[in-house]
Amino acid sequence: MPGRGEAGKDPDAVIELKNISYRYPGTDFYALKNVSLRVRRGEVLLITGPTGAGKTTLCYILNGLVPHFFGGTFEGEARVLGYNVPETPVGFLATRVGMVFSDPLSQLVSATVEDEVAFGLENLGLPEEDISKRVKRALEYVGLYNLRSRPPYTLSGGEQQAVALASILAMEPEIYVLDEPTANLDPLGTLRILDLLKKLSREKGKTIVVVEHKLEEMAEIADRMIVMNEGRVIAEGSPREILTRRAEHLHSLGLEAAHIPLLVQRLAGKGIIKSPGSIPLTLSEGVRFFDELLSSGELSIGGRAWEPNGGSEAGGEPIIVVEDLVHVYPGGTMALKGVSMKVYRGDFLAIIGQNGSGKTTLVKHFNGLLKPTRGRVRVFGMDVEETPTSELVKRVGYIFQDPDRQLFTRRVRDELAFGPKNIGVPPGEIEERIRDVSRKLRIEHLLDREPYSLGKGEKQRIAIASILVMNPEVIILDEPTTGQDPRNRREIMDTMKMLHREGKTIVFITHDMNLVAEYASRCIVMSDGRILLQGTPREVFSEVEVLRTTRLKPPTITSLFMELSKRHPIKEVILTLDEAVSLFEGGGR
């Protein structure tokens, strides 16, 4: 076993990185550039930053996956628990540093939950009785002991991630590293994991390093926070300090800055309020802050927050009509229990709800991927039961979440030509369409590249383009933003907004309430195979009690003004930051 080298000056430091630069093999740029970091025993460190910032690479150093597993060029000095990382095998470091990856299923390797948690303990060579005890304790800790004999892939995403966490917990490491543990989860799964993180962080002596984009939620868990961008650490401090003082900066990096400090900074920037001594961060702080300002008359409510016609019901004729739809999967699961709804021409419709509520099952009927078990679905007057999918896909485009599950050609150009060729578009026109669409999505420079060699955001744009070239009237997006960073999410949605302006009808499934508030003209909330609510986002988000039954929360800004409206004359439901700012500006937009 490698011996511990000379520890640094700080005896409490469990992680010491000095001037680390790292390049993955086969790349010509540094994923990390001169990064130094020190983490003390028992500290909870939050790392955030846009895609490509080097967050994951940094995590990989902590258990030695970088450089041992990936290879590449490693410069600088890395010590974890006193061990020199480049000289210590991963297998050894992994007994002291536990890691949870962001995609839950990618890290689960066993046939049952129980075996999964036992796997690491078997690797440690522990006696059987110890293994049984530790498995039980870890599964009870995460609340999944009753599911111990289920195969992991049959669990929900949140449960799977909890299993991943339990299998690390059971190994009792000194350092926990979690790389975007909630990125692929629905709101319920996210809550589960954040609650577990809270519980874990309260226990003394556990050093936790978490990469996350959900900054508002993480602020109360983390002791310290670093912000990374393009391979460098660009900010470091307490989460409160960074989230309040540097809200605009985070926002400009394309990160999901906490909205309440952002609002305060914007109002101060416009001279509407004085720069406050301490900026509120949480919802309750925000309510107190604005309540005082409004009560003392320092701040007053002006005119309308939004244009009267903005975000109203779509006026077009119904193009997709769903009547009493029931869908039962071959295994016997009843995913839809009688759903009736319409999609109107010109809709920008959001479908929200927890995983398993039937969102995807519903929209898969729109282009015939699924056929009704009972009930009827008509698309542009065609009954989906009788119309072949090859006809429906000409008018309804379906964009899937993971571009890796559809790209297959050597060149982006061929990828784009595939769909139109299938539906019989003449070759000359295909060329034309490819030119149009690639200009619109700014992928002209990628047309002769190999799809697999592109980055995540670029691949997603190719996947979107490959549907757009088929020129469908309706575009369905099934969680296109899950697993993407906030900036990519906005880029995708901005593209959709542009297409919507050109007359396309958009239907999107999402877990991001801010996107619903900002982009959707209508919103459907699903729960347990039924439609729970439908209406404009304003109508839907004001039904706080109904939303709570399915554990969905309105955007923070909306909640803030709903609280304030109890004591102050605010009639409107506020959805976005811009609306909130213009509410106080008094002039309307």
Partner 1 sequence: MGYEYFPGTSILHRLDPRTKFLIFIMIVVLTVSIADPLGILGLLILTAILYRVAGIPGSKLRKMIISLLPVFALFIFLNWFVVPPKGAHLLFTIGSLPITIETTMVGVTGGLRFLLFICVARLLTMTTSIAELLVALVKLRVPKEAATALGIGFSSVAILIDKINTVREAQVSRGAKVDVRNPFKKLFALIPIIVPAIYLTILRGMDVAKALEARAFTYNPAGRTMRKHIRLTRLDYLVLAIWIAFTAAIAFLRFRCGWFDYMFTIGRFL
Q: Is there binding between residue 301 and partner 1 (CB under 8 A)? A: no
Q: Is there binding between residue 314 and partner 1 (CB under 8 A)? A: no
Whole-number Å distance between alpha carbons of 71 and 428? 46
Q: Choose one: 348-356, 362-370, 507-515, 573-581; the region binding partner 1 (CB under 8 A).
A: 362-370
Sequence-ordered list of residues with C-beta below 8 angstroms from that of 54, at least 6 positions apart, any chain: 31, 32, 33, 35, 228, 230, 231, 232
Q: Choose one: 107-115, 199-207, 434-442, 538-546; the region binding partner 1 (CB under 8 A).
A: 107-115
DSSP E strands in 180-256: the ranges are: 207-211, 224-229, 232-237
Widest CA span in the chain: 75
Q: How many Cα neighbours within 13 Å face the side chain of 373?
A: 15
- Nearer of residues 367 and 576 to partner 1, judged by Cβ: 367
Q: Is there binding between residue 361 and partner 1 (CB under 8 A)? A: no
The binder of partner 1 chosen from 4, 5, 71, 109 (CB under 8 A): 109
Distances in Å between the alpha carbon of 251 and those of 69, 199, 242, 279, 352?
34, 29, 12, 16, 25
The binder of partner 1 chosen from 258, 350, 407, 526 (CB under 8 A): 407
Q: At closest approach, how far in Å is the CB of 360 from partner 1? A: 10
Q: Is there binding between residue 122 and partner 1 (CB under 8 A)? A: yes
Angle, alpha carbons 531-536-540 (nearest 5°): 55
Length of the chain equals 589
With tokens 């989460």, the residue in question is 239
- Nearer of residues 15 and 65 to partner 1, judged by Cβ: 65
Q: Choose one: 47-55, 127-135, 206-214, 483-491; the region binding partner 1 (CB under 8 A).
A: 127-135
Pair 567, 287: CB distance under 8 Å: no
The binder of partner 1 chosen from 354, 361, 367, 505 (CB under 8 A): 367
Q: Is there binding between residue 210 and partner 1 (CB under 8 A)? A: no
The binder of partner 1 chosen from 11, 125, 315, 332 (CB under 8 A): 125
Q: Is there binding between residue 335 and partner 1 (CB under 8 A)? A: no
Distances in Å between the alpha carbon of 115 and those of 121, 177, 192?
10, 22, 22
What's 2's DSSP letter?
Answer: P
Q: At closest approach, how far in Å is the CB of 386 from partner 1? A: 17
The binder of partner 1 chosen from 156, 406, 534, 565 (CB under 8 A): 406
- Nearer of residues 98 and 187 to partner 1, judged by Cβ: 98
Pair 339, 350: CB distance under 8 Å: no
Binders of partner 1 among 36-65, rule CB under 8 A? 63, 65
- Nearer of residues 60 and 584 to partner 1, judged by Cβ: 60
Q: Choose one: 4-12, 37-45, 112-120, 496-504; the region binding partner 1 (CB under 8 A).
A: 112-120
The binder of partner 1 chosen from 225, 253, 377, 393 (CB under 8 A): 393
- Nearer of residues 412 and 577 to partner 1, judged by Cβ: 412
Binders of partner 1 among 479-508, rule CB under 8 A? none
* Preceding omega of 403 cis (within 30 degrees of 0): no
- Nearer of residues 130 and 298 to partner 1, judged by Cβ: 130
Sequence-ordered list of residues with C-beta below 8 angstroms from that of 414, at least 6 positions apart, any chain: none
Q: Is there binding between residue 171 and partner 1 (CB under 8 A)? A: yes
Residues near partner 1 (CB under 8 A), total: 66
Per-position b or e across 204-216, b if 16+ CB within 10 A of its CB:
eebbbbbbbbbbb
Q: Is there binding between residue 423 and partner 1 (CB under 8 A)? A: yes
Strands 32-40, 13-23: pairing is: antiparallel
The binder of partner 1 chosen from 24, 72, 126, 578 (CB under 8 A): 126
Q: Is there binding between residue 397 and partner 1 (CB under 8 A)? A: yes
Residue 361's H or E segment, with its range, is helix 359-363
The binder of partner 1 chosen from 115, 212, 512, 518 (CB under 8 A): 115
Q: At closest approach, how far in Å is the CB of 369 from partner 1? A: 5
The binder of partner 1 chosen from 34, 51, 84, 110 (CB under 8 A): 110
Q: At closest approach, how far in Å is the CB of 312 from partner 1? A: 31
Whole-number Å distance between alpha carbons of 585 and 305? 9
Q: At closest approach, how far in Å is the CB of 118 from partner 1? A: 6
Whole-number Å distance between alpha carbons of 227 and 241? 12
DSSP E strands in 29-135: the ranges are: 32-40, 44-48, 73-80, 83-84, 97-100
Please, is 326 exposed, middle or buried when counting C-beta atoms within 10 Å of its C-beta (0-12, 13-18, 19+)?
A: middle
- Nearer of residues 127 and 428 to partner 1, judged by Cβ: 127
Q: Is there binding between residue 332 and partner 1 (CB under 8 A)? A: no
Q: Is there binding between residue 402 and partner 1 (CB under 8 A)? A: yes
- Nearer of residues 106 and 340 to partner 1, judged by Cβ: 106
With tokens 């690639």, the residue in question is 438
Binders of partner 1 among 451-480, rule CB under 8 A? 452, 466-467, 470
Whole-number Å distance between alpha carbons of 450 and 470? 21
Q: At closest approach, how far in Å is the CB of 575 from partner 1? A: 31
Whole-number Å distance between alpha carbons of 438 and 212? 32
Q: Which residues pair with 211 in a beta bridge?
A: 47, 179
Q: Choose one: 106-114, 191-199, 567-575, 578-586; the region binding partner 1 (CB under 8 A).
A: 106-114
- Nearer of residues 393 and 524 to partner 1, judged by Cβ: 393
Site string for partner 1, 427-456 (x = CB under 8 A): -------------------------x----
Whole-number Å distance between alpha carbons of 547 and 553? 7
Q: At closest approach, how far in Å is the CB of 477 from partner 1? A: 12
Distances in Å between the alpha carbon of 113 and those of 130, 136, 166, 310?
17, 11, 10, 49
Q: Encoding tokens for residue 390? A: 């090859």
Which residues contact partner 1 (rule: CB under 8 A)?
63, 65, 68-69, 89-92, 94-95, 98-99, 101, 103, 105-111, 115, 118-128, 131-132, 151-153, 167-168, 171, 364, 367, 369, 389-390, 393-394, 397-398, 400, 402, 404-409, 418-419, 422-423, 452, 466-467, 470
